[in-house]
Structure 1
Amino acid sequence: MTYNEFINSIEKDNTIPDKLNVHLQSLWYDAKGDWQTAHDLIDHLEDRTSAHVHAYLHRVEGDLWNARYWYNRAKQPEYKGTLQEEWESLVRMFVRG
């Protein structure tokens, strides 16, 4: 799936696309305004990539202490840009083209 296809699935569809990895699933639900589902998909995962998405989700929530904890687990610096910029950056990490 390309970035544009992913964006179109958010803007035009009410059903999550098939075969998205868990990170894109989480970001898709976040974009649809379903933070809880986005968080539930990632919360139990231990890898660094999931920790990075988890950090972003806690920024969205406004829990900066928890976000910093997850950035540390992800071995990533705390993101200083906007939430939208970080979301786009994360999506681009997981899509092709």
Structure 2
Amino acid sequence: MSALDEFRETLSAANPPEGEDLALQAIWWAGRGNWTRAHECAQTNEGDPDCDWAHAWLHRKEGDLGNARYWYRRAGRPTPTGSLEQEWEEIATALLARPLTAAQRRKRT
């Protein structure tokens, strides 16, 4: 089972997996259909390229393409042309592939 598949399985829980950073929490909440919680997570760590990427995707999802393009630029990413689902998977996969922080390792053991 891939990390993305395992992450998708957590979407049935009430809260995101413990120890995940705000960018991954934003994508998790978006995966649950809670745009507001996802947006709060992404905005909390504004300036972090991963949060800015999630933030861009959220504005793209809501149809605010001008705002989305601003956040894609801040994240250092091109504005995608694929589907929203494809990009959600791309973001989640990239975030899950990052090395774990010490705090995340402790929470997962």
TM, length-normalised to structure 1:
0.89
Distance 2:76 2:47 in 1: 12
**2:36 corresponding residue in structure 1:** 36
5+ residue gaps in structure 1?
A: none
Aligned-partner SS, 2:29: helix
Structure with higher Rg: it is 2
Distance 1:29 1:8 in 2: 13
1:88 Cα shift? 0.1
1:94 Cα shift? 1.2
1:90 Cα shift? 0.1
5+ residue gaps in structure 2?
A: 98-109
Alpha carbon RMSD of aligned pairs, Å? Answer: 1.5
Distance 1:90 1:30 in 2: 11
Aligned-partner SS, 2:92: helix
Distance 1:9 1:21 in 2: 15
Aligned-partner SS, 1:3: helix
Q: How many residues align?
A: 95
Q: What one-letter code is carried by the residue in structure 2 that aligns with 1:93? A: A
1:16 Cα shift? 2.0
Distance 1:33 1:15 in 2: 13
CA gap 1:13/1:80 in 2 versus in 1, 3 angstroms: same
TM, length-normalised to structure 2:
0.80
Distance 1:17 1:74 in 2: 24
Runs of 4+ deviating beyond 4 Å: none
Identical-residue share of aligned pairs (%): 36
